[in-house]
């Protein structure tokens, strides 16, 4: 029982970063590979903006700026693009793999706690 409680506490401590600010990838390249990470403000979301047949821009952006009209003003040199804004850590990677959210981590911890006492 004591070991089980320690395991659950370890899982909960791993979720302490959940209250920190949003982190997004930051790069502008043609390869789609991005390893630089940027800390964002509480007003930000992550964006992945892809020029048709060209480079992809990944960075933090104000959540309110994430619409086609505002983006066209912010990136006047890019005439045609697609974009995606998101609000999870490192969600602008371009990969289809999704990362676990704090809610899923909490559910896993509660399930582990229940399993220990059954």
Domain made up of 22-117: CATH architecture? Ribbon (2.10)
For residue 40, what are its two tokens? 């964002």
pTM of full prediction above 0.85: no
Alpha carbon dihedral 8, 13, 18, 21, in 10-degree steps, equals: -170
Averaged pLDDT for residues 89-114: 57
Instruction: At 38, give phi and psi (nearest 5°).
Output: -120, 135
At 42-79, the pLDDT tens digits run: 999 999 999 988 899 999 999 999 999 999 999 999 98
53 Cβ contact partners less than 8 Å away, ≥ 6 residues apart? none
- What was the pLDDT predicted at 63? 93
Q: Is the pLDDT of residue 9 over 60?
A: no
Rg of the chain over CA atoms, in angstroms?
A: 19
Q: Is the pLDDT of residue 8 over 60?
A: no
């Amino acid at each position: 029982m004591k070991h089980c409680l320690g395991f659950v506490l370890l899982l909960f401590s791993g979720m302490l970063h959940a209250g920190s600010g949003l982190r997004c990838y930051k790069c502008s390249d043609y390869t789609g590979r991005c390893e630089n990470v940027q800390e964002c403000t509480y007003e930000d979301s992550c964006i992945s903006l892809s020029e048709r047949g060209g480079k992809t821009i990944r960075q933090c952006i104000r959540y309110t700026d994430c619409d086609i009209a505002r983006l066209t003003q912010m990136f006047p040199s890019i005439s045609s693009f697609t974009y995606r804004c998101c609000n999870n850590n490192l969600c602008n990677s371009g990969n289809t793999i999704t990362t676990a959210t704090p809610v899923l981590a909490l559910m896993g911890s509660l399930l582990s706690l229940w399993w220990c006492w059954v």
